[in-house]
Structure 1
Amino acid sequence: MPFWTYLLHCRGGSFYTGHTDDLDRRIAEHQSGAFPGFTRDRLPVELVWSGEFPDRQQAFEFERRIKGWSRAKKLALIRGDWEGISRLARKKDGPSTGSGRAGFGLASGIEQKILGHARDAHPHECCGLLLGHGDRIEEIRPAANVHREPATHFEIDPQALLDAHRAARDGGPQVLGYYHSHPTTLPEPSATDRARAAGDGSIWAIVGEGRVTWWRDEKDGFAPLPYAVRDG
């Protein structure tokens, strides 16, 4: 009997990994909210990758392997980029070159666009996606803030997330992170931000007091992130 390991994209940008002997039934259970646990509180969810294995043990072992991967490796898996997965594994296992808080490249004009979106959304929080390739953010994609209390919280429109990940699988820019604004507080991770963080290595841009600050969502919390403006 074949088994499948699968990867779901969930509301808020997080991923869920599992295994099953009936892929169609299990995905339907996740999408309807009938499957208890993580995904029920993060609907809607979408199947973004699945792999078939000859027995349950192999499917379970690959599930555990994926759960230990970084967000970048999971995105490479979704794209079918096995060379990229190998490259990321070598990078992780290589010698340390610093604190581990690697910086990134930023196309010119990105911060100005984020600030403009924050001004337009005020007094509500703005939010959107950071898109690019590798370690360079090339564009932003503003999204609707669908949270029921948009003046003090944000929730990116799930459809915008699903559309962006579909485009990435078709060769478009990757979802490297997210941005949002703090209309009345400092541009740093709030208690709410910290509670929602996935620890998946994604980049967060936070707007406040007329400036943008950049953070890496690491397993042990948010870390300030250096960057350099790079065009071309």
Structure 2
Amino acid sequence: MYLPSFSLEGKTALVTGAGRGIGRAIAIGYAEAGADVVIVSRTQSDLEETAEHIQQAGTKAYTFEADVTNKSHIEAIFEKLDTQNVKIDILVNNAGMNIRSKALEVSDEEWDTIMNTNLRSAFWFSQKAGERMKENGGGKIVTISSVAGHVALRTGVVYASTKAAIIQMTKNLALEWGQYGINVNSIGPWYFKTPLTEKLLADKDYLNDILAVTPQKRVGELSDLVGPAVFLASDAANYVNGQTLFVDGGMTIQGF
């Protein structure tokens, strides 16, 4: 039989930024594919709501209220999972944010906040998960990048820099860890309907600008991201390594 398995049964996934938006959708999608899910967020009420959806799918939810920019919080999460004998098979680095400042107006604080949230946290989570996956014979790491890491957009230079760095980090980790059975890939979304984009998409002129450069002439639904995220975490992607899958309605394929 050549059809690979997209099932995540028997696996445990850790998803950061799982309280809402893309992270919540992926966490629930993984549960529906059969995985137990460790969810990390700064807001307890969001965690509880996501956990309820996971449990309704019939799998276990482990919740951690944490600041992903604090390395001691990250270490505490993995130490607690170790004591509970919870083995992480899949890591999704989704936690992220943006401050839309022009380059000449970026402050030191803004730089550090965006870098620490989007890039630094993804590396530390990958490092902690990677050392355990190496011991356990392999695993899957998926980091959420952006089309802004590939093409220039009006999202701001700091945000774009973190997303470009994620794409390169994905390649380097895949090169270093592939020998241990660890697949490292990323997903590059375009605009999706989330709480973070709600105000932007409500601006008709801004929305029209987005649609003008999107061949499919629509913004993404969260369900459009779940399939690619499940694929990269499943046995179907066992020979996919170091890649960024752009889920963008075709936005990044265009020239002049």
TM-score, scaled relative to structure 2: 0.26
TM-score, scaled relative to structure 1: 0.28
> Which structure: greater helix fraction?
2
> Which structure: greater strand fraction?
1
